Chains A and B, each alone.
Chain A
Amino acid sequence: MYDLIIIGAGVIGSAIAREISRYRLNVAVLEKSEEPAFGVSKSNSGIIHPGTQNRPGTLKGKLCVQGNRLTRMIAKELGIDFKKVGELIVALDNDELVSLSDIKREAEALGVPGLKLVGRAWLKKNEPNLTEEAVGALYAPTAGIISPYRWVYDLLENAKANGVEVHTSTRVIGIRRVEDPLSADRGPRFEKRIAHSAESKAWVERLYALCALRYADDRTRTDPGDGGPGTGNYFELATSRGMFRSRFMVNAAGLYADEVARMAGIEDFVIYPRKGEEFILDKKKHNLTRHLIFPIPTKTSKGILVIRTSDGNPMIGPTAQDVDSKEDLSTSEEGFRRVLESVKKYVPSIDENDIIAYFAGLRPASGDDFIIRHEDAFPGMVTVAGMQSPGLTAAPAVALFVRDILKKNGLDLRRKPFFRRWRREPYHLFSSSAEAARKMIKEDPAYGDIVCRCEMVSSKEIREAVRRGARTLDGIKFRTRAQAGRCHGGFCTARILKILAEETGENITSITKRGRGSEIVVRDMNDGGC
């Protein structure tokens, strides 16, 4: 029996897991994908917003400002690269200039520090590639950049180091609440106790019978009396990897938060996927801008931006387009044209030939604000949904908010005597001095065995990534940058496949790009026949 199960290993689930790992609790994170951060979190701009462009009185505004501060603090603790680069919201005419003052006033009401209206002269000096048309800008110094997936991995690994279990490839397919007949804390009885939308009750019963054959928390199952009368209410989560039981539960399922909610009979919100296409420029252009460049926001979006990333490549985007499918991650020629046209108004020197890569992500949109609440109709369950921008920034503040909700609803928070707050910064051969590099190679020759020539990633770092949980080519890429350089894996994929196979004991034929169904090769030619 777990004390808490978190559904979803994106940035929200990971930040909550890390926060809760301070307490003496038995916690598990369930993730449907092969690896963490493979959903909404991986296709993120990586901006840690200062808190501007949010309405006062919203959860977004409050948690973004607080999250900015917390992110900087935790990034330091975990030794992850966070750069405070600052942002400029740029006005191109006098009307826009007027709205800058409104934005500033609203942001200051939320507590965003250090805001300053700057004019042409300041811009010319501090952002030389910005268009001459710019008449002024709002400067927010606390805006920063982070690698979104490395952020998730580091939060989650730190949570693991503090005792949290992470179960990947574990898809939740049914949730039911089991009430203890002796418990005083009984929720309202309602028929949808075993709720699974559009499924017959018999099907659900069969599903549970099947899952009950394999309890994931076997070690506590034999505990006499556990889950029996007098031990309290709990949830049974039927998953693709057997049954999980927990006293409390957080739904941080991103794009699928509405589907998880429906399993618990909660049907008052829907997640609408809103696509954003982003385009990455060559690292050689790392000096394109000094700040993050924003247009004046519209009602629904912060607009198309010129972004600096922690990997050094500038990025332009994102678009914002409502789509039908939660799996539609395609990029388009129109998106490309729209982004290019839009950013050239702000930074005219951007050239389409400098674009070396692109991707699309889906925002889990649901109304105007985040949905973070205890489900009183399903006691013990907390929903965290609609976590679109500024979700990445807000994540550590969301974690505190959720912690308090859980506490208020009966989760007993007692601190562990020892919490591993710090993490040694992993080193990279080419960010060290020549002498240090020499020493590293002498101590471990694998540091000198370069696998990815474009990003200079050694076999040591790749094996290390596998030991830390990478199982797929994308997982290796997000953790180490191998395959993310100019050749896009043309040279190193064959070698990475071999290392993954060696480290995991799998056949090369079962190594995937991002989980089952995305196998790289279809046949071992040495395996006889055709």
Chain B
Amino acid sequence: MNTKTITCIECPVGCRIGVDMEGCRVVKVSGNKCPKGEKYAISEIENPMRVLTTTVAAEGLGIRRLPIRTSAPISKANIPEVMRVIRSVKVSRPVRVGESIVKNVCGTGADIVVTRSVD
């Protein structure tokens, strides 16, 4: 068994969490101030997940870039592939906050959603 200390990024508090592991499996979590911390710690070790935020090209909307995010955290390993998809996207119609422009991106289960409305 080995032990690792990680920093929780669920909220600005940034708890230092101790994680006891056997191989790639988490067996014990300590030091977290809330339940989110335990969930985070397990996922961070076994399959780190991140919400990806970036921008896509916009055309004819008065702005050149439209901010977007993934609708849910995706595996860190998928980020480069998702970025490649995003680079090929161009939005040229009015959109609202929360509108999805790519469904189930790269099979991650998450959509690409717009985070700013443009008319």
Report if A and B touch in the complex (beta carbons < 8 A). Answer: yes
Is B57 touching A530 in the complex (CB atoms < 8 A)? no
Residues from chain A with Cβ under 8 Å of B65 in the complex: 525-526
Once the chains are docked, how many angstroms separate the CA of A525 from the CA of B64?
9
Within 8 A of B (CB), among A22-49: none
Q: A188 on the interface (CB 8 Å rule)?
A: no
Interface residue count on the B side (C-beta < 8 Å): 6
Q: Is A529 an interface residue (CB 8 A)?
A: yes
The residue of chain B having its C-beta at the shortest distance from the C-beta of A527 within the complex is B57
Q: Could you tell me which residues of chain A, from 483 to 530, have a CB within 8 Å of some CB in chain B?
A: 525-526, 528-530
Answer yes or no: B103 CB below 8 A from chain A CBs: no
Give Cα A526 to B61, complex, Å.
14
Interface string of B85-96 (1 = CB under 8 A from A): 001000000000
Whole-angstrom distance between the Cβ of A512 and the nearest chain B Cβ: 21
Q: Which residues of the other chain, B, contact A528 by a CB distance below 8 angstroms?
A: 87
- Chain B's closest residue to A529 (CB) is B87
**Nearest CB of B to A529, in Å:** 7
Whole-angstrom distance between the Cβ of A501 and the nearest chain B Cβ = 12
B59 neighbours in A (Cβ, 8 Å): 526
**Which of B55, B57, B65 is packed against the most chain A CB atoms within 10 Å?**
B57
Q: When the two chains form their complex, are residues A526 and B87 in contact, meaning their CB atoms are under 8 A apart?
A: no
Which residues on the B side are within 8 Å of A529 (C-beta)? 87
Asked if B87 and A530 sit within 8 Å, CB to CB, the answer is yes
Complex formed: what's the CA distance from A526 to B56 in Å?
Answer: 8
B64 — which chain A residues lie within 8 A by C-beta?
526
How distant is B68 from chain A, measured CB to nearest CB, in Å? 13
- Chain B window 48-68, contacts with chain A (Cβ cutoff 8 Å), 1 for yes, 0 for no: 000000010101000011000
How near does chain A come to B103, taking the closest CB pair, in angstroms? 23
Cβ of B18 to closest chain A Cβ, rounded Å: 40
Could you tell me which residues of chain B, from 15 to 67, have a CB within 8 Å of some CB in chain A?
Answer: 55, 57, 59, 64-65
Q: Nearest residue in A to B88 (C-beta to C-beta)?
A: A528
Interchain CA distance A430-B76 in the complex, whole Å: 53
Chain A minimum-CB-distance residue to B57 = A526
Q: Which residues of B contact A525 (CB under 8 A)?
A: 55, 57, 65
Cα–Cα distance between A526 and B87 once the two chains are bound (Å): 9
- A526: which B residues are within 8 A, CB to CB? 57, 59, 64-65
A526 to B65, CA, bound (A): 8
CA distance in complex: A525, B59 (Å)? 12
**Can you report 10 residue pairs joining A to B where beta carbons are below 8 Å apart?**
A525-B55, A525-B57, A525-B65, A526-B57, A526-B59, A526-B64, A526-B65, A528-B87, A529-B87, A530-B87
Q: Closest 7 interchain pairs by CB?
A: A526-B57, A526-B64, A529-B87, A530-B87, A525-B65, A525-B57, A526-B65
Using A526-B57, A528-B87 as known contacts, list a sample of 8 further A-B pairs with CB atoms less than 8 Å apart, ordered by residue number in A: A525-B55, A525-B57, A525-B65, A526-B59, A526-B64, A526-B65, A529-B87, A530-B87
